[in-house]
């Protein structure tokens, strides 16, 4: 039985780059965490230590900084496309690239003053294989809560079931969403506006859905995004169920009419799913 090298990739992870654009007294700030992963003709470096086809990860880091200066950072998606295409198109041994970007939000306090926003982070993933290119945008850590209009009942039970059914509960989650655009071209309204529209659709669906399960809410959120954004062909959602448990106050002679809860951070249910158009082209996928 032989031993062979399987799929592999390498790159520079989590290069922090901040770009400041100065337009008089009003400045614009972009704060990114960029990860590069490259694949291709890399067998020799694994099998014999020959590094002739390896572009150093330090070079990848430097490229991120140089591109931030040379081209600026219009959006995370466009910056990722520049990097993904550059590494494949400039190096014969590199045939595929993946760029993962997390963007940190800052609130403007003045012309050149900002406060770090503690809300969700914006993400982008670019995959490029020389011909096919794929742009996925996303967000992580969007914390949402409905204090009513949520129930959970009618589920399977067995000898180990202790969870009581409820027709009125708190539903809370921290949304992790990634959506794939139909093409790599910027949407007609631009990547920034598209991001805000998708975010608004996710929030609106969460707020407006009477939830019989978090699974139902997940589908409603994905369906809303695909309805309002024809340029999005698929959205993947991961929704942790951030449990809020009713506190027993009877030892203190007090009732608790759904008003006092303990927020439990773990363990938690994790609901994951993909909502897609039935005619969507297959994703390039991970490698």
Give the residue numbers annotated as catalytic, written as ranges. Answer: 12, 57, 243
- Give, for 274, the enclosing helix (H) or strand (E): strand 269-276
Q: Which region, left, alpha or beta, applies to residue 91 given φ > 0 means left and ψ of -120 to 50 means alpha?
A: beta
Name residues whose C-beta falls within 8 Å of residue 79's C-beta, 6 or more positions apart in sequence. Answer: 32, 34, 67, 68, 71, 73, 101
Nearest Cα neighbor of 100 from 18, 38, 175 is 38
**Alpha carbons 208 and 266: distance in angstroms, whole number:** 27
The phi and psi torsions of 193 (rounded to 5 degrees) equal: -65, -35
Helix ranges, the chain (H) = 43-47, 57-71, 76-90, 190-208, 214-228
Tally of CA atoms within 13 A in the half-sphere of 15 that contains its CB: 24
Q: What is the DSSP string of 56-109?
A: -HHHHHHHHHHHHHHH--S-HHHHHHHHHHHHHHH-TTEEEEEEEEEEE-EEE-
Contact 96, 10 (CB under 8 A): no
**Alpha carbons 239 and 162: distance in angstroms, whole number:** 23
Nearest Cα neighbor of 65 from 82, 52, 53, 77 is 82
């Amino acid at each position: 039985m032989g031993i062979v090298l399987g799929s592999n990739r390498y790159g520079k992870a989590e290069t922090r780059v901040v770009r400041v654009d100065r337009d008089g007294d009003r400045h614009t700030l972009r704060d990114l965490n960029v990860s590069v992963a490259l694949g291709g003709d890399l067998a020799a470096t694994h099998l014999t230590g020959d590094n002739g086809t390896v572009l150093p990860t330090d070079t990848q880091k430097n490229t991120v900084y140089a591109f931030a200066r040379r081209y600026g950072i219009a959006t995370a998606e466009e910056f990722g496309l520049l990097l993904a295409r550059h590494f494949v198109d400039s190096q014969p041994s590199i045939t595929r690239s993946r760029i993962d970007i997390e963007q940190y939000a800052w609130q403007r306090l003045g012309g050149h003053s900002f406060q770090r926003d503690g809300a969700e982070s914006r993400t982008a993933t670019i995959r490029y294989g020389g011909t096919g290119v794929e742009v996925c945008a996303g967000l992580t850590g969007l914390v949402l809560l409905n204090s009513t209009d949520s129930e959970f009942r009618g589920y399977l039970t067995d000898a180990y079931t202790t969870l009581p059914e409820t027709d009125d509960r708190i539903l809370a989650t921290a949304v992790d969403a990634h959506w794939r655009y139909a093409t790599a071209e910027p949407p007609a309204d631009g990547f920034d506006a598209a991001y805000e529209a998708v975010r608004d659709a996710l929030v609106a669906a969460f707020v407006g859905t009477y939830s019989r399960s978090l699974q139902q809410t997940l589908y409603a959120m994905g369906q809303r995004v695909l309805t309002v954004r024809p340029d999005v062909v698929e959205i993947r959602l991961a929704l942790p169920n951030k449990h809020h448990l009713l506190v027993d106050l009877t030892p203190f002679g007090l009732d608790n009419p759904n008003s006092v809860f303990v927020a439990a951070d773990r363990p938690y249910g994790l609901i994951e799913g993909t909502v897609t158009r039935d005619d969507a082209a297959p994703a390039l996928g991970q490698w």
